[in-house]
Amino acid sequence: GYSEDNIKEIQRIQQILNEMHEKIEHFRNRLKDSSEKFQKMYEAYQEGQRPIAIIVPYKKQKEKMEKLFVDNPHFKEIAQIRTIDSVQGREYPIVIMSLVRSDRRAGFLASPNRMNVAISRPQHQLILVGNSFGFLDSKNIRKHAKELRALIVYTIGEDNV
């Protein structure tokens, strides 16, 4: 049977978190010496806050990520993992979204409402991790592919992860 988790995406998200941790720590240090107004404006980046939301469509992917990230010291400092349904009505400075599926079926993300919730949560940056070719070519996503391609800045890797 098909499994709604994707280990390659989880590994790529680990790499992204490690890279972003250094940048966020640098920003936090500069923020300490900034004006009160500037500190208030970027409150979500302050020490003790977790400015990154990793959004996943499937509970199984969330559980696998939590299990694998438990030993990553950077994860607990800057990120949290949420399912799409749990982020409705919330915003986050940075969102990393795991597409999970790479079989040309959008699955859970075929719902326009869920897709809208997923891609409209970030305040500053959205990072999509997954097989963009398979995802954009899926039956229910194809009609929105032009708009979604506009969100894709670049792709890397042979699996487009």
User: Rounded to the nearest 5 degrees, what angle is found at the Cα of 75, between the Cα atoms of 73 and 80?
Assistant: 150
Cα(13)–Cα(29) distance, rounded to whole angstroms? 24
Dump pLDDT digits (tens) for 90-109.
999 999 988 775 555 545 55
Q: What is the pLDDT of residue 26?
A: 93
pLDDT attached to residue 143: 60
pLDDT of residue 109: 58
Low-confidence residues of the chain: pLDDT under 50: 1-3, 106, 154-161
Terminal-to-terminal C-alpha distance of the chain: 22
pLDDT tens-digit map of 11-23? 889 989 999 999 9
- Supply the pTM of this predicted model: 0.79
